[in-house]
Amino acid sequence: MTAIPPGSVIGILGAGQLGRMTALAAANLGYRVHVFAPESMDSSCGQVVAYHTQAGWHDLRALARFADDVDVITLEWENVPTYAVEFLARHVHVHPGANVLAVAQDRLAEKSFANKLGIGTAPFRGVRNPAELALAMAEIGTAAILKSTRMGYDGKGQIRLNPGDELSGAFDAIGSDDAILEGFVDFELEISVVTARKADGTLASFPPVQNSHKAGILDTTRVPAAITPAVATEAVRIAETLATALQVVGLLAVEMFVTRDGRVLVNEMAPRPHNSGHWSIDFAETSQFEQLIRAICNLPLGSTGIMRPCVMTNLIGHDVDQWQALLGEPGSRLHLYGKGEARSGRKMGHVTRPV
């Protein structure tokens, strides 16, 4: 694959804040961006791009026109239908490909994939009805989490189950009868690693970071993670092993648990920029978004070093009302996503502070 030069057009599937920050990074390297999404041009990403196609994923004519207008395609949301990605890939390079999405879109598939590589996860079972759920709980423990296998994010599509809970309504609670039961992990902390990979197999990983959640949504990311060098090395090894086995071109973010006895277990992975990598915009030598552009355009990958320890805090819902005060904080770096209504659970922006 030859390098895609500045002045070319990068297509992005999806129009949220990850696309927005990717588009801004692309512009800094001299690329134009064309976004394809069902959302309107006033979306977070649509506000900052040169071209915008508003159409559904099933609209093959619109997809074909989009493919003809771009030189390479990436995505900001791993739940783009695989049939749309397969169709686009007949016309232009799409990174990551449908083979990666087939694993990343399904929690059961991604955990099975990790286990086949010898990478540990929480114990899990696929379940489709209360009888299978009861059997799975008997096998892996009665303190567990039931999750939909697809489309769940930010704490959606999941419910924690405890001994004695009524199981008949559990599937209604998660909104799906295609589910995975995950055994509870008594972890010490949660970490993540974002790895970039080029088509020739070249890898570059950001250092592991430490994540804290509230109500299933990422609250803060501390950089670097408070872990031993051995744990950090293992976390990076896991992320790079998964990226290589999946043949990712672009980014792979891997969320992991560190257990109290020092084991590293995979929780989830996403083949795109990740919320826990937002700190890199201001405090890494290369941001995750620029790294994505470098990877898909076959440019040299940038350095992933930390320029200064920091903490990234998400602005959820009306947290964004603090924007003026945050701008007045010495050293703080505020990023707003251009969204109109501040709703509960909605990511409106983030702020990163040096520590």
Q: pLDDT at position 71, please? A: 98
Lowest mean per-residue pLDDT among 37-41, 202-206, 269-273: 37-41
pTM of the model: 0.94
Q: From the DSSP assignment, how many helices (H) and strands (E) are in the chain?
A: 11, 17
pLDDT of 153 higher than 70: no
What whole-number distance in Å separates Cα of residue 74 and Cα of residue 224? 28
Dihedrals phi, psi of 30, to nearest 5 degrees: 90, 15
Instruction: Tell me how far CA of residue 189 lies from CA of 7, 95, 179, 182, 258, in angstroms.
Output: 43, 31, 25, 17, 6
Nearest to 326 by CA among 340, 336, 337: 336
What is the identity of the amino acid at 177? D
pLDDT of 164 higher than 70: no
- Of the pLDDT bands very low, low, confident and very high (cuts 50, 70, 90), residue 1 is confident
DSSP strand pairing (209-214 vs 217-223): antiparallel
What whole-number distance in Å separates Cα of residue 89 and Cα of residue 18? 22
Q: What is the pLDDT of residues 228-246, one digit of tens each?
A: 999 999 999 999 999 999 9
Q: pLDDT at position 135, please? A: 86
Nearest to 276 by CA among 18, 87, 61, 52: 18
Q: What is the pLDDT of residues 268-311, one digit of tens each?
A: 999 999 999 999 999 999 999 999 999 999 999 999 999 999 99
Strands (DSSP E) contained in 260-307 are: 264-270
Structure-token pair, residue 234 = 């293992």
Strands (DSSP E) contained in 112-184 are: 124-127, 144-148, 158-161, 179-183
**Is residue 211 within 8 Å of 192, Cβ to Cβ?**
yes
